[in-house]
Structure 1
Amino acid sequence: MRNPELARFFRDLAAYLEMDDVPFKPRAYEKAALAIESCDRPLAELHLEGGAKALCTIPGIGKSMAEKLAEILTTGKCQAHEVYRLRMPVDLAALTAVEGVGPKAVKVLYDHLGIRTIEDLAAAARAGKIRPLPHFGERSEQRILKALTVVQAGTARQPLAVVLPLVEAVVETLASVRGVERVAIAGSIRRRRETIGDADLLAVARKAEPVMRAFAGIPEVARVLGRGSTKCSVKLATGLQVDLRVVPAESFGAALLYFTGSKAHNV
């Protein structure tokens, strides 16, 4: 299992905990998810080498989280995640990708309207069923409808010929940032797939913060989706998601191979 899939488990757990008003833990799981995604080595390798103890070397991962990661890597499942999922059988990743729809909103939407998917959400918003719900209203419903158009545009795959010039312009900007030694395109663009869902970039620099700050401030960026110590994800005005990871020079080759994939190659 690849690092982004492991991070998805932790993001879901963060959302479930937030729904239950559990203090502190949601933020801890969110930070752990970012650390997992930013790790320049597959966690599956770390686990094979040293078990749960080796996973504790990742920043923000304590014993309990390491045990959950080991459980996922061993069985493909996490018991805590399964318990929550059975209680709240919704497409968390898709619903919380809609701007203005957080975990607590997902819970209200499911409890009152049985909304599980993006399609359910769109249908309810168009029918005017969301505005009467607690903590929503007509303006919230209109914002959700507007946000859904952005999400739907962003999930559509775009031709390589359209995406490549945009991403190359971002690479050129990052390469000019002081302290950046190298910037490379990874992922499906590097594999020259005909259509692209998102873009992956790798940068070599001693200090990650100035690079990510410059990346988030590029004029083409419409929204910052997430930011950790060595990873930043943004959405461009065109709807394309671009993920930047800053790695040390000694890790660049392995990271380029890992984040270029394909998924089947990295299993």
Structure 2
Amino acid sequence: MNFDPQDVCRAIDDVAKQEILPFFRHLDADDIFNKGNRDVVTMVDLRAEKALSTALRKIAPASAVIGEEASEEDPNILNSLDDDRPFWIVDPLDGTKNFIAGRPVFAVIVAFCERGETQAGWIYDPCGEVMVHAHKGGGAWLGARPLGISDNLSPSQSTASLGPGMRKRLHAHTHARSGDRAPPPEIPERIVRYGCCGREYIDLALGKIQYAAYGGNLNVWDHAAGVLIHREAGGYSAIFPHEAPYRPQRYRHGEQLLLAPSPPSWASFRQKLMP
């Protein structure tokens, strides 16, 4: 990267202050639109993505930008994932439904990619004014403080982010094991889902969440930055069933991204979810 990562932090902060926070809990009905995939978008998403894309192109003039909302309008933009030139991946307002409902659980996510790999990532919680960021080989940071994920909690003391399907799998596995003579497996004490991947990745990097499983389409704007930050903080993640490292690319529906504090705890977590 031939730019200052702090320039990206400043760009994200500026967009949050100018295009996002002034409209939090001040949206009109006309500011909210339905997207084709039964999701919603607001004029805040659109304005923030436009402003952030402009700022990022100035930071790295030769780069492309893959924005969530622009990609919704023109799926061909995702072809930049296969280009040789560097590109940004932007989710200008992750957690749009929370934003609309007035819940302070949303984030701005930015990743910078080259040669098919995520080279840097930034996730910002505008309400909490929390910025976590990382660049490949340089560690993960909360502002100027280095982050390190610990693997010293037992599963029964941990927190996991799971969707409804994975929750059912976990509990079905637990009940099946409790019916034989083997001791029931330890499962996470607390199961959460924020409705905002960015905020979950912040808490994964801070050690507030120990495990997570994501499926569906594995959209790059949800995961490219967060996986790098988690990895640089010392965590382990892989795509199931291949156990291949995550890369910013298209994934088939049904492939799962699992995150854990370490390779052994990842294997144990995978076994509980998909025995």
**TM-score normalised by structure 1 residue count:** 0.27
Q: Which has the higher helix share?
A: 1
